[in-house]
Amino acid sequence: MKKCQICNKGLLEKVEDIILEIEGYVFVVGGERCNKCSEEFPYEDEAQRTIAIARKLGVWPEPLKLYRHLSKSGGGLIFRIPSDLEKQLKLDENIGIAISKVGNKIVIEPEK
């Protein structure tokens, strides 16, 4: 048996009851589970098959990448969030956001 990569204490045991929930759909796949920390590792082929089925069901979208221009206002730049993202993320003018710089990227996250 292999040692768990997460806790480094337990051993990975073969299981057939790993639950993957995607947008309300429940998938049961095989994989390995740590006997100490219970971390689960679905088999690659089963995870890929689950993704293929989820794509056919329309619940596994392609990564979203939008292209926008920044606008100037006062002394700073403005970025507009499209209304479809606003609705999906349940944003409004009262929700705070966190802006982070990660390498060469800007990450914008709603505050919880």
Per-residue pLDDT at 65? 75
Angstrom CA distances, 61 to 21, 30, 55, 81, stand at: 15, 23, 7, 19
Are 4 and 37 in contact by the 8 Å Cβ rule? The answer is: yes
Question: Does the pTM exceed 0.85?
Answer: no
Please name the amino acid found at residue 50: T
Per-residue pLDDT at 61? 74
Neighbouring C-beta atoms of residue 33, cutoff 10 Å: 20
52 has which bridge partners? none
Per-residue pLDDT at 23? 82
Burial tier of 108 (Cβ tally within 10 Å: 0-12, 13-18, 19+) = exposed
Per-residue pLDDT at 1? 83
The residue written with tokens 């100037």 in the block is 72
Task: Return the domain boundaries, the chain.
Answer: 12-57, 71-110
DSSP letter for 24, please. Answer: T
Per-residue pLDDT at 68? 85
Class of domain 71-110: mainly beta
pLDDT in tens, the chain (112 residues): 899 989 999 999 999 999 999 888 999 999 999 999 999 999 999 999 999 998 888 888 766 778 888 999 999 999 888 888 888 788 999 999 999 999 998 888 888 7
Q: In the chain, where does DSSP find H-type helix?
A: 44-57, 83-88
